[in-house]
Amino acid sequence: MSLDKLVYMANQIAKFFASQGREQAAAGTADHIQKFWDLRMRAAIFAHLDAGGAGLDPIARNALELLARAKTEAGEHKAHL
């Protein structure tokens, strides 16, 4: 799947949740991406975010940042076990 398509999809998901307010919309978008995007899709969109995230809607960007932070925190918790 192309990067443009992934950005488009992330933005469409964010638009769907936008009426719930910024925080809820970001959480809903993050939840959807985590549940329904496969590992390759998530890896590609995270790499795009790391490269600046051009074209991402603010809610989509925030959702991806939430997921990245959760992933980092989960890794930190595992390291302490």
Domain ranges across the chain: 3-79
Tokens representing residue 13 in the block: 């998901």
pLDDT, one tens digit for every residue, the chain (81 residues): 899 999 999 999 999 999 999 999 999 999 999 999 999 999 999 999 999 999 999 999 999 999 999 988 887 545 434
Q: What pLDDT sits at residue 80?
A: 38
Distance, CA of 18 to CA of 27 (rounded, Å): 10
Q: What pLDDT sits at residue 71?
A: 85
Do the Cβ atoms of 57 and 14 come closer than 8 Å?
yes
How does DSSP assign 8-72, residue by residue? Answer: HHHHHHHHHHGGG-HHHHHHHHHHHHHHHS-HHHHHHHHHHHHTT-TT--HHHHHHHHHHHHHHH
pTM: 0.89
